Structure 1
Amino acid sequence: MERTGRRTGRPPLTERRKAATRVDIARAAVRLFTTRGVAATSADEIAAAAGISVRTLWRYFPTKESCVRPLLTAGIDLTALALRNWPPGTALATVLDDLAAAAGDIVAEVPTLLALVRLTRTEPGLRAVWLRAHDDAEPVFATALAERAGHGDANDLHIRLHAAMINAALRVAVEHHANEPDPAGKGTAGKGTAGKDIVATVRTALLTAAVGLN
């Protein structure tokens, strides 16, 4: 439930620093997981690669697998923002286009994100983190849709079904894109095109899942 009188604008500097540290840890973890495997990578090695102490790492994450969560939730958070900012009478496509234009930070992380999503197919611990991220997102999506509908009942069956469809569409779109040939744009297309491609894939999936919402 959202609080009234909440802050607007950019988060305080300390929160931004914490968020940046979490992403740095996630990047370091993905680099090690993709080159060495999860089982062969220790929390101490992740901490060293991120330039922090292992004690600090445990303050941010409960397990070494959960270190990757900030990269997995970036697109989820952006989708939740799009749903919260989706005013009645406005096509969802318009909102998604506006959010895509502001998704520069996420697009920059696309190669790392796709490498991570591919790992979730063979690493059960990472798969659990990925699925848990989406499980946590579903009630957030439902709340946003309920508020948009004007009745605020996130437990309404119709609302919950649409939230589940949007959630599944987002997950399937990212997984589909990650496992396509040359998903990271390592060929002539380059990283920039890879970022645009995944945004287009997710946009298509969300619009398909949102059919019937008004």
Structure 2
Amino acid sequence: MTDSETDSGEPASGKAKRDRANRLDLPPGARHSVIDDLQGILIGALLLALAISLFREATILTGGVAGVALLIDYASPIRFEIAFLVLNLPFFALALWRMGVRFTGATLVTIFLVSGLTAVISRYLVIDSINPVFAALAGGVLNGVGIVALFRHRSGVGGLTIMSSYLQDRGIARAGHVHLVTDLVIAAIALLIIPADKVALSVLVAVVFSFVLSANHRPGRYFG
């Protein structure tokens, strides 16, 4: 074995690059630029707002703070956009303390984008009818892909994503599993507000969302 090879036979330079990538110790050109992060956050927020719009039309739920905000929307005159903003405020102390200024700032931008885009979509996207099963499946996928986009650009969407991202970064629990458990709790509470068949579809949303998130967001797999 030459000096340029490792014990596994892999060229030393290749192993060094792989190890450096796994540690996120990357050259400046390999990291996301500000423009990269902004477009990723915008796309993620748009996907989440589209998912929320499908859920509202079908009177079903998602999980986390968004799910609670939807319950408030269904049970009171308070619209989702307002409830979502207000409910997320207490979580920013945790984000600032544990996740840093950069993550907290990006998450704050995301929350305002989701609220604003949801309001815009409700005005300009008029759905006469929607199949609830389709809304659950498509909304769950949009939700999962949107969260993955946000996580890839070091942002969350407040509330539960702040907590789940922190737990996954520390190796305590997978983000998808944290979301699944909390989503099921929210679905149980929802039985007091919406019909049981809608709650059943909300559980389907949670399963689809958890699958998409767990399959596509794993620590050490992606970098940049």
TM-score when scaled to structure 1? Answer: 0.34
Give 1 or 2 for the bigger CA radius of gyration.
Answer: 2
Q: Which has the higher contact order (CA 8 A, sep 6+)?
A: 2
TM, length-normalised to structure 2: 0.32
